[in-house]
Amino acid sequence: MQKLTTEFKVGFFVITAMIVLGYMTFKIGELTFGREKGYRIYGVFASVAGLDIKSQVKMAGVTVGSIEGITLREEKAKVAMKINPDVKIRKGVVAAIKSESLLGEKYLDLIPGKEEGFLREGDTIHKTISVADLDSLISQLQNVAEDIKSISGFFKETLGTPETQSSINAIITNLKNMTESLSTLTEKESGAIDTIIRNLGDLVVQMRNIAEENKGPLKNAITNLEKISGDLGDIARENKTPLRDTMANLQQLSGDLRESAPRLLNRVDRVVEKIEKGEGTVGKLMKEEGVYDKLDSTLEGINKYVTATDRFRLNVGFRGEYLFDEEDTKGYFSLKLQPKEDKYYLLEIIDDPKGRVKVTDTTLTTTPGTTAATHEIKREDELKFSILFARKFNDIVLRGGLMESTFGFGADYYIKGEQLRASIDAWNFDKDPDVENPHLKFTANYTIFKSLFINVGVDDFINSKISSTFAGAGLSFDDEDLKYILTRFPISLP
């Protein structure tokens, strides 16, 4: 048998050693041939200090993959993880960097999520936790140690002096005396204390019962307070600039008053001095006897008069009605005095384009013994007046008196509260020379809101020659100024 040569033995040994070395390298370094199996996901961290490529990725303490790469993207670290193909990671997972020990190597821990579905190839984990590195922890511990040192030094300097120690001993002694006094008082007044505690318990029970009985109103009150608070906040925000200006004006006014206060006080002192001497009108009133009694009786009479007048409700109105057949407008100014809810007095001034009828009969002598008579009817545009007394019966109001300068009467029917009203009026029963029947008018009035109203109707509808439809609008409002003026004139109440 042919012997193996030395060269063959050396070559075989070298090849065997290379195979063993390669196997151990791949085994210990966890290297694989070809493309590694699994899927790749990513995580974004603020810091990955201490985390290296090939570091382990764990879930519940079990290795499920490794770090495949670390790159910098927009000032943050983007970590690529290779996850074993048989491991499914639920969405919503949190990735946290942890250490095996205080000085051990770092690894990436996946905390399972609770969302539906699982991560797939290329997905990114956005919920991450970065752990501070050891240098940062040491720096923070050093700062804490310095703070503790400064606090201990402060207490040493503060409490180390004999004065401070004496004060502390006095405080402890006072606390001891106070506790002994409280103990003695509790023993002597135990019955009174028990009574107070029982009363407090009863009070709490009563308050609880009141709160339960008024739960709904209390909730509504709190809701209203919240709404008021919100409204006030909105008002403050909307009027921020005016409020700032108002505060600035008040501040300026305060400064002006501060400057002018001494002068005002001097003037007040002089006025008071004159009054005390009996000078001027006020001084005479203060000094002369009998003036106060006269003034008091006068004021009492005025007060009775103003109180009676104040019962009136005043209403001022303006309206215009366009007569379509006449192609002209009829205007009204009205003043309503209402002493009671069920009656009122109405004064109106009317500008009527039809005016008043004037008849002129003229007799002319043409030849001796021969005469000619003329009969001329004219309508003159002039103001008319209405003075009416009205009385209300439920939804019906009856009116009567002087209507457009002749006797007349009318009625109102409220269909929808005070908002919708139908009216019928009749006047001029003496008849004009150019008409056959009295003047009848139908009106429907609708109030849009408090002061504005519109109306439509037919005027003089039984006299076909001069009948006309109309439409109009007007304003009606209370006038406190007129009420004030009327208190200056004598008015007798019914």
Give the start-to-end residue ranges of the domains of the chain: 1-31, 39-129, 161-210, 214-288, 313-486
Closest CA to 475 of 447, 443, 449, 453: 453
Closest CA to 61 of 94, 109, 102, 105: 109
Question: What's the confidence (pLDDT) of residue 136?
Answer: 67
Q: Are 355 and 377 in contact (CB under 8 A)?
A: no
C-alpha to C-alpha distance for 61 and 49, rounded to whole angstroms: 21
Question: What's the confidence (pLDDT) of residue 399?
Answer: 93
Question: What's the confidence (pLDDT) of residue 443?
Answer: 93
Structure tokens at 130: 């970065």
126 Cβ contact partners less than 8 Å away, ≥ 6 residues apart: 44
DSSP collapsed to 3 states, 232-244: HHHHHHHCHHHHH
Question: What's the confidence (pLDDT) of residue 425?
Answer: 93
Question: What's the confidence (pLDDT) of residue 280?
Answer: 65
461 Cβ contact partners less than 8 Å away, ≥ 6 residues apart: 440, 441, 442, 467
Question: What's the confidence (pLDDT) of residue 492?
Answer: 45
Spell out, as residue ranges, where the chain has pLDDT lower than 70. 1-4, 26-36, 102-104, 132-137, 159-160, 278-312, 355-382, 431-434, 479-494
Question: What's the confidence (pLDDT) of residue 380?
Answer: 63
Question: What's the confidence (pLDDT) of residue 24?
Answer: 76
Question: What's the confidence (pLDDT) of residue 278?
Answer: 67
389 Cβ contact partners less than 8 Å away, ≥ 6 residues apart: 343, 345, 346, 399, 400, 401
Question: What's the confidence (pLDDT) of residue 389?
Answer: 92
The pLDDT tens digits of the residues spanning 269-280 come to 777 777 777 666
Closest CA to 137 of 261, 49, 207, 255: 49
Phi, psi of 4 (to 5 degrees): -75, 140
Question: What's the confidence (pLDDT) of residue 74?
Answer: 84
Question: What's the confidence (pLDDT) of residue 256?
Answer: 74
C-alpha to C-alpha distance for 387 and 403, rounded to whole angstroms: 6
* 463-to-95, 234, 277, 432, 470 alpha-carbon distances in Å: 98, 61, 80, 11, 15
CATH topology of domain 313-486: Lipocalin (2.40.128)
C-alpha to C-alpha distance for 138 and 47, rounded to whole angstroms: 17
